[in-house]
A and B are shown apart, each in its own frame.
Chain A
């Protein structure tokens, strides 16, 4: 077998034993590359080109998420059910990815849940420091199958009081301010205070 064309592969004629002595030192034997500092770019010690592209998108939400977003506008959280595996899923989707068949019905879920995991974040999306920490969490929604969570943020709670298993409730925006977006829920706050 060889390359599809059928030619013989040329092997270097140098005796392998000689090369082996040099390489037995350690691999990789050398590391090439020219490090730069941030100052080199700021002070133009090296040549470079800048590009600020203007890339805009209009993402189609699709059937399932459109209905989910419209539901958020009305102050409701919707999930979907697959009758074969009997899972109730959120965020909703048009087909069950495990049974690989269309889902069977929409289910209205509650707006309370349980914290599955969380973090206390001091950084924003561009790695900038935040003055007040954000508390993102994965929240299992009541009414959906166990383990079905969504990503959101917690509020009205001190970072040190958050724990896995905490019961929380959604805090919604005023009806006239809602636009059918995940941010129609401002944040989730604890249902009861931990003793």
Chain B
């Protein structure tokens, strides 16, 4: 039974996936981003039954599937972990290294991943207290990028 043995005769077919997506923020997300955009305030949600505080907020508690209520938090927190990125997603060198940090937000049981700014990489320490820096109100769009970065207090 003859088979194709010449590699150049083995065919490949090129193609791409052309869909694009629009992700709505959901009930909790919409409330969070609208508050952030209009008033520059941060929202978390607290479970009515067990008291766990979620950040970013959700309309349900994942432990007992009970309802939550929205509460306001300052947005300040402390650095729990961080990393210094020297390459971008396509492995090209970045003009300036970027610092990504896992920030525990005070008053909640949640954490946020975001950039750190206004500090040199060698000066970042775990436990460092930080506060958020937002874009000016006219430039905010209701997305996580309305938060420019967190800087040390």
Q: Do chains A and B touch in the complex (CB under 8 A)?
A: yes
Is the Cβ of B20 less than 8 Å from the Cβ of A65? no
In which size bucket is the chain B interface? 20 to 34
The verdict on A102 contacting B1 (CB below 8 Å), with A36-B24, A50-B22, A53-B20 known, is: yes
B114 to chain A, nearest CB (A): 15
Any A CB within 8 A of the CB of B63: no
Any A CB within 8 A of the CB of B138: no
The verdict on A60 contacting B12 (CB below 8 Å), with A48-B25, A49-B143, A104-B1 known, is: yes
A185 to chain B, nearest CB (A): 16
Is the Cβ of B2 less than 8 Å from the Cβ of A106? yes
Chain A residue contacts of B34, Cβ below 8 A = 47
Cross-interface CB contact of B4 among A56, A58, A66, cutoff 8 Å: A66
Is the Cβ of A103 less than 8 Å from the Cβ of B25? no
Is the Cβ of B21 less than 8 Å from the Cβ of A50? yes
Chain A residue contacts of B9, Cβ below 8 A = 66, 70
Q: CA A171 – CA B33 in complex, angstroms?
A: 58
Any A CB within 8 A of the CB of B118: no
Pick the 6 closest A-B CB pairs, nearest first. A47-B142, A61-B11, A47-B33, A55-B17, A66-B11, A52-B20
A182 to chain B, nearest CB (A): 10
27 contacts between A and B (CB under 8 A): A41-B22, A41-B24, A46-B25, A47-B24, A47-B29, A47-B30, A47-B33, A47-B37, A47-B142, A48-B23, A48-B25, A49-B23, A49-B25, A49-B143, A52-B20, A56-B15, A57-B14, A59-B13, A60-B10, A60-B12, A61-B13, A66-B9, A66-B10, A70-B4, A102-B1, A105-B1, A180-B11
Residue of B nearest to A61 (CB): B11
Residue of A nearest to B33 (CB): A47
Is the Cβ of B20 less than 8 Å from the Cβ of A50? yes
Cross-interface CB contact of B27 among A34, A51, A61, A65, cutoff 8 Å: A34
Is the Cβ of B24 less than 8 Å from the Cβ of A48? yes
Any A CB within 8 A of the CB of B96: no
Chain B residue contacts of A103, Cβ below 8 A = 1
Any B CB within 8 A of the CB of A67: yes
Residue of A nearest to B3 (CB): A63
Any B CB within 8 A of the CB of A22: no
A54 to chain B, nearest CB (A): 7
Is the Cβ of A69 less than 8 Å from the Cβ of B17? no
Mark each residue of chain A from 158 to 171: 1 if its CB lies under 8 Å from any CB of chain B, else 0: 00000000000000
Q: CA A53 – CA B89 in complex, angstroms?
A: 13
B67 to chain A, nearest CB (A): 12
Residue of B nearest to A36 (CB): B24
Residue of B nearest to A44 (CB): B142
Chain A residue contacts of B30, Cβ below 8 A = 46-47
Cross-interface CB contact of A53 among B1, B4, B17, B143, cutoff 8 Å: B17
Residue of A nearest to B34 (CB): A47
Q: CA A102 – CA B1 in complex, angstroms?
A: 9
Is the Cβ of A51 less than 8 Å from the Cβ of B23? yes
